[in-house]
Amino acid sequence: MHWPPSTNHMQKCAKKLAFEFKNDAAALIPSLQYLLAEITESIPPGADAEDILFRCKVIITELLTNAIKHGGNGITLFDIEADADQLRINKTDHGSPLYLINTHNHSATDNLANKKLISADPLNSLYAHWENENCIRFISEESSIEDFLSVEQVMEHFGILIISRSSDEFTYNYDKETQTNTFKVRIDF
């Protein structure tokens, strides 16, 4: 669905929503507000709604930002699905693949070799774990700040880190046949 929402483009089931985002910065906040309002209705009683909405807010903000930066002039699809245990947010576009996708030869036998450090500073470390040739799972860890030397060492790109740190699982898939990028985020209730 483009912003503003049009019921013609929305297929909304009980706890499933398909949303088309036009890759335009002016639509970022209205789209974020709309999606958060929809997610609010899906949070089961007993779950920490404030924490889940905070995590959703920062994750969706970064996914929308990513769409604006890398999705070109097209449309980015958001599929949001919730059940009693989990919330899943999928973002799909046909922009250029993530730079990491062709930087590693996946090993079917050596799982350790499939995990690589992709950025690190005195505060945080970010790893990519190749689940297969076209699927990367992101993992973030807090760095030891004992060796902290200078603010100069702190990185300035936080998008993937924010999503990784806010979610219970965060993966990127690239379908070479359809040239489709899909970011998948899971939040456990």
Residues that bind another protein (CB under 8 A): 25-26, 28-29, 32, 54, 57-58, 61-62, 65, 68-69, 122-124, 142, 145, 148, 150-152, 154-159, 161-162, 165-166
Question: With respect to another protein, which residue has the nearer C-beta, 113 or 155?
Answer: 155
For 75-114, strand residue ranges (E) read: 75-82, 86-93
DSSP 8-class letter at 179: T
CA-wise closest residue to 181 among 23, 50, 29, 47: 23
Question: Closest approach of Cβ 124 to another protein, in Å?
Answer: 6
The β-bridge relationship of strands 169-175 and 180-188 is: antiparallel
Question: With respect to another protein, which residue has the nearer C-beta, 33 or 111?
Answer: 33
Question: With respect to another protein, which residue has the nearer C-beta, 23 or 114?
Answer: 23
What is the crossing angle of helices 49-70 and 28-40, to 10°?
A: 150
Question: Closest approach of Cβ 18 to another protein, in Å?
Answer: 23
Please report where in the chains the tokens 């036009």 appear, as a residue. 22
Question: With respect to another protein, which residue has the nearer C-beta, 130 or 138?
Answer: 138
Question: Closest approach of Cβ 37 to another protein, in Å?
Answer: 15
Question: Closest approach of Cβ 109 to another protein, in Å?
Answer: 35
Question: Closest approach of Cβ 165 to another protein, in Å?
Answer: 5
How open is the CA angle 6-45-10, to the nearest 5 degrees?
10
10 Å CB burial of residue 146 (0-12, 13-18, 19+) is: exposed
Question: With respect to another protein, which residue has the nearer C-beta, 68 or 139?
Answer: 68
